[in-house]
Amino acid sequence: MLAMNKHTLLFRPCLAAAAALAAATAAAREPNYDEGKVAPYTLEDPLTFADGRKVAGAADWPARRQEIVDIFSREMYGQPPPAPEAVVTELKEEGPTLAGLAIRRQYRMWFRRDRSGPFVDWLLVLPNRIAGNEPKVADERVVCENQDKAPVVLMLNYRGNHAVLNDPEVPMPDGGWFRDEPKDMGRDNGPREENRGFGRDSRSRTTVPADFVVARGYALLTACYAQVSPDAEACFKLPPDFAYTRIFELWPKRDPKRSDNTTALGAWAWTLSRGLDLAERIAEIDAKKCVVTGSSRLAKSALLAASRDERFAVCVPNQTGGGGCPLAKRDFGENVSTEMQMFPHWYCAAYAKYIDNEQAMPFDQHLLLASIAPRALLVEGFNSEWFDTKGEYLACRAASPAWKMLCGKGLPEGDFPPNYSTALIGERLGYVRRGGAHGISGHDWKWMLDFADRALGR
């Protein structure tokens, strides 16, 4: 059952048609958890244009792909933010980490030439053993003698870069709201020293195993999502438009007459693309071999980033929940009503017209998945009815024709698989699920990097 409380009701979206939208979202519809109550639905063909024309072949795909991207910008996620005035980066610190097996670098990124306004802090963990070369350490600085370049895993993290590594050299982030444990949401949600290294702690449901990533030959590049757009869903004492601060200060003021204003998900996705801008500037990284990932809302962000930015070679969204990979028209678990009632800052106002009206949607999430073709996509689910992992599988199945046309192979044949089965992880498109808790586990990381190795030809 969906848990509702007095705090949930505080989050009314400050968007176009705000009064009507608030009335529509005042009471979310109870989620359906009965497969027998899933009514018949029709999904749009990813290989048919909105005007009914068929995609004749690979030459037609860029136009159809852009049509899909535009639909989601108008109807669900809002328009992409504008390009930055500039991407200015400064290396703030570097040194050895992970007992000397990696290099730690910390960058600050601004989006104006004069380095004014919002910024994002990136943490890079770079393997120092590439092509059999060991590093030299001089004056406590690491000099990397890599002959080959490392592929990179790019992600946003939840609690700050200091939660990724135990290293004291990683500073606490500058003030403001940062995610804390749910039991502490009533506190001021500032960054906390007690969270240092939390992503490597056995108590954490979402792990960020930098040592494992490095051992597989990948670099890890990450920044904290709260530094981009603070998450109003968790800020019980803050107004809903609090989400439209920080990075939103770069962009024109939101227009209350528009139904497709930029959203928090759009801002997080935009920032992942800026991380790829940074990766392209780092000599030891092969940015053409970039794996973008994340869990839950940050999986949605990774999926949206890969849809909008074709530079991402591999996308691995982990447990997105509704509004990410699962089919909305299936109406199982999370639905448009609960999404707009609980997380209005993630979606644009236009999406509200599909509350209790999912069958009227001229799109569904399988089209978002298809927009990533022919690049590589692995969808990772788990057994929470709220997250509807069967709906994720069905979305992959419905998106598969795009890969089959472009690559010759789509999702491997097979019904909804059992937990931990890798039978449906194909060469370019895959689906896998597991038991356990919500978050990226060791299982998910292994599946992710095994899939990436194959997709990247490693």
Three-class SS string for 357-368? CHHHCCCCHHHH
pLDDT digits (tens, 9 = 90+) for 372-420: 999 999 999 999 999 999 999 999 999 999 999 999 999 999 999 999 9
User: Residue 151's domain is classified under what CATH number?
Assistant: 3.40.50.1820
36 found inside a domain: no
176 found inside a domain: no
Task: State percent of the chain over pLDDT 70.
Answer: 86
Q: Which of 56-65, 166-175, 302-311, 359-368 has the lowest mean pLDDT?
A: 166-175
Q: How many CB atoms lie within 10 A of CB 25?
A: 22
pLDDT-derived band of residue 193, with 50, 70 and 90 as boundaries?
confident
What's the rounded Cα separation, in Å, for the pair 63 and 363?
16
Residue 13: what pLDDT? 33
Structural domain tally of the chain? 1
78 found inside a domain: yes
Supply the range of the domain harboring residue 443.
72-84+127-135+146-162+207-455
112 found inside a domain: no
Give the Cα-Cα-Cα angle 346, 352, 353 (nearest 5 degrees).
Answer: 150
445 found inside a domain: yes
What's the rounded Cα separation, in Å, for the pair 317 and 235?
25
27 found inside a domain: no
Q: What is the mean pLDDT of residues 340-353?
A: 95
18 found inside a domain: no
Contact 163, 225 (CB under 8 A): no
368 found inside a domain: yes
- The model's pTM: 0.91
Q: What is the mean pLDDT of residues 314-325?
A: 98
Residue 174: what pLDDT? 77
pLDDT-derived band of residue 26, with 50, 70 and 90 as boundaries?
low
Q: What is the mean pLDDT of residues 90-115?
A: 97
Residue 148: what pLDDT? 84
Q: Provide the sign of the torsion angle of the four alpha carbons 249, 251, 256, 260, taken in this order.
A: negative
The DSSP line for 183-206 is GGTTS-----GGGTTGGGSTT-SS
Quick one: which of 6, 25, 5, 7 has its CA closest to 15? 25
Residue 135: what pLDDT? 46
Between 234 and 58, the higher pLDDT residue: 58
The phi and psi torsions of 404 (rounded to 5 degrees) equal -65, -40
Q: Which of 61-70, 234-243, 316-325 has the lowest mean pLDDT?
A: 234-243
Between 241 and 71, the higher pLDDT residue: 71
pLDDT-derived band of residue 11, with 50, 70 and 90 as boundaries?
very low
Residue 146: what pLDDT? 46
Residue 131: what pLDDT? 38
Contact 106, 93 (CB under 8 A): yes
Quick one: which of 26, 28, 24 has its CA closest to 10? 26
What's the rounded Cα separation, in Å, for the pair 15 and 254?
8
Indicate if the pLDDT at residue 24 is higher than 70. no
Q: What is the mean pLDDT of residues 140-144?
A: 45
Q: Which of 45-59, 92-106, 145-159, 218-232 has the lowest mean pLDDT?
A: 145-159
The pairing of beta strand 150-157 with beta strand 285-295: parallel
Catalytic residues: 296, 438
Residue 5: what pLDDT? 33
What's the rounded Cα separation, in Å, for the pair 267 and 320?
17
